[in-house]
Each structure stands twice: as C-alpha cells, then as structure tokens.
Amino acid sequence: MKAMVITGFGGPEVFEEREVPRPDPGPGEVLVKVHATSVNPIDGKVRRGGPWGVGVHPPAIIGYDVAGVVEASGPGVWDFKPGDEVYYTPESWTLPGSFAEYHVAREAVVARKPANLTFLEAASLPLAGVTALEALIGRARLQVGETVLIHAGAGGVGSLAIQIAKAAGARVFTTCRGDNLDLVRRLGADRAIDYTAEDFVAAIQRETGKARVDVVLDPVGGDATARSTEVMKPFGRMVCIVKSTADLGQAFSRNLTIYYQTMQRSRARLDHLRTLVEGGQVKPVIDSVLPLAGVAAAHERLERGGVRGKIVLEVVGKGG
C-alpha cells in the first residue's frame, strides 16, 4: 500500500511517499480502507520530535483521523463487517497512523460514520469533535442556560465546540480573527469577539453585565488561559486542551476548577457526535482538501495559521 511516512524528525519536508506492507488485523481488530484523513496540530508536534516524538521511530506513519470502509476483520470482531462505513481516531501516536491507504484499529474505538456525511467530511471530525465534546459535556458538564467562552472559534476544535455548546442550550461567546466573524456567527456564536481589535475580557464583562461566564474552553494557552480566569464566575470551569504555564492565582481565590484534557478514544463519544451530526446540530467546517501526497503542504498551511476548521486529505476517489 502507499503511505506518507516521516523519514526523520523535522519540518514538513520529512514526508516521503513509500510503498509499505498492508497491515493485517489481529484479534479484536478491523482493517479499514482509508478514504480520507485530516491534519491536526498534534501531527506537527509528533513530526518535529521532542517529547511528543517519544516512542515514534522513523520511518513512521503518523496521522490521527480516519474515515473509511471496513475491508476485513480479525478473530472476535462482532460489531463490524466488510463494507461498513466507519470513522475514528487511531489510538496512539506511537502506532502506525492514518496517512496511508489502509489502517488497523481495535473495534472498541471504531464507530459507524454519520450517514449524512461524505468521507471527506467525516474525516474532519473524530479527533477535534471528540475533543470538543469531551471538554464541554464530559468535563465541564455544560448545562442548558449556561454561558461559555470558546477561544479560537474558527479552528478545528472551536468550530465544532460552538455547535456542540449551542446544541447543549448554552449562550456562546467566542474569540477569532476579524475575517472569521461571519463564520463563527453562522456556526451559532451569540457574540463573536475579534481578538485583534477588541479585548475579550472587557467585551465579556460588558456583555454579561460583569456576571461573567460559567465555562471556558481553551485551545490556545499562554496569556489567554490566565486572562480567561478574569471572566469566569465563582465556581466556574475551564478546560484547557494545550499545556500552559499561565499564572492561575485567581482560580484559587474564586474556587475555579481547571481541567487539563488529552482526548480519550471512545466509540461512545463518536456515537454521540454522530447523533448530533445526523440531527443537523453539528456540521463539519472544511478549510481545504488536498490529496494524501500533499500532506507536507497541508502541514505547512496548518502551521502558518489562519485555517478555518480542518484541512482534509483525500485518499480514495472523490470523498465517497
């Protein structure tokens, strides 16, 4: 099978197309013909090496989203059969990833693809969608009528988080660049804040009458993390999906709860996400589509910043 492998650690130029053996499914595993995959910030962290590259031994296949069709199954697989359309996130960055024509996964982390999405659309969802869903619903326990601040609302996680928060019945504030204001409003944001032109702390204090917000989702880190504590109600909850060395002194004085989250693979979360998608409450945001061989260009584009939603890589056909 064809695969895009990293030949060493470094920049996007380390990707190289190679012919590699097709994997075989073991007990409890399915072999999936990958129709589409997508790029995520974690890809670049692993590709560059360092702490995220521990356990990865180039030449290696990375990639952390799959939408495709079950080709074969190993012993003990009961939930899927050849021909089933599925989507999921590969379990570990130290195992072969999704930038290839085939991928093997435990059936426990695989879910049926939303019926109303193409493979291209479905490939944009697993990692970012489950991250947003777990952050807002699993960790923060967002409730009907609460208020939430979602940073980077036009990004891969943020664009889905806005829609998930609206489906949960929350009032949504989000930050983004000025050229993305219309996009995040269409996704459901009640108040979009151009962080390049407006101070989000002052904006939220003004919009809420200094009542502040119940929940913050932080995929940005740095100064945004520390300053977000200024707009949280006493006993508010923040979920950070990136590392931060911010001074969180205000969290102590106002009894705030800060969660640091790494996404956990879960068929149940993917099933929940599928229900939202098939019910019309969540729609993928696709920035652009490139062929699998264009993965280096996709990494360059992602790392330049300004991506709206997800960059998707087409592996087979026209997205199903």
Q: Would residue 10 count as lying in a domain?
A: yes
Together in a domain, 185 and 162: yes
On whether both 139 and 78 belong to a single domain, the answer is no
Residue 268 lies in a domain: no
Tell me the percentage of the chain whose pLDDT exceeds 90.
Answer: 87
**Do 198 and 298 reside in the same domain of the chain?**
no
Report the number of distinct structural domains present in the chain.
2
Q: 158 and 38 in one domain?
A: no
Kindly state whether residues 111 and 7 are assigned to the same domain.
yes
Same domain, 102 and 181: no
Please indicate, yes or no, whether residues 99 and 190 belong to a single structural domain of this protein. no
Q: Which CATH number covers residue 98?
A: 3.90.180.10
- The closest alpha carbon to 240, from 266, 254, 222, 264, belongs to 222
Say if 288 falls within a structural domain: yes
- From CA 205, how far away is CA 189, in angstroms rounded? 17
Nearest alpha-carbon partner for 46 in 87, 77, 15, 86: 15
pLDDT, position 45 = 94
Query: What pLDDT is stored for residue 317 in this prediction?
Result: 67
Q: Is residue 304 part of a domain?
A: yes
pTM: 0.95
In a domain, 276, yes or no: no
Residue 94 and residue 10 share a domain = yes
267 inside domain: no
pLDDT tens digits, one per residue of 256-278: 999 998 888 989 999 999 999 99
pLDDT-derived band at 318, boundaries 50, 70, 90: low
For 15, the 3-state DSSP assignment is: strand
Q: In angstroms, how far apart are the furthest CA atoms of the chain?
A: 61
Pick from 65, 75, 157: which is nearest to 113 by CA? 65
**pLDDT for position 285:** 98
Which residue in the block uniquely carries the two structure tokens 């129709």?
Answer: 35
Question: Tokens 């099978």 belong to which residue?
Answer: 1
CATH of the domain at 216: 3.40.50.720
Distance CA(235)–CA(96), nearest Å, equals 42
Question: Are 109 and 81 part of one and the same domain?
Answer: yes
Statement to judge: residues 73 and 158 lie in one domain: no
Q: Which domain holds residue 67?
A: 2-125+284-314
**pLDDT at residue 319 in the model:** 41
Last residue of a domain, one of 244, 260, 276: 260
Whether 278 is in a domain gets the answer no
Same domain, 194 and 290: no
Which tens digits make up the pLDDT trace of 113-133?
999 999 999 999 999 999 999
> Residue 119: inside a domain, yes or no?
yes
pLDDT in tens, 154-199: 999 999 999 999 999 999 999 999 999 999 999 999 999 999 999 9
Same domain, 243 and 225: yes
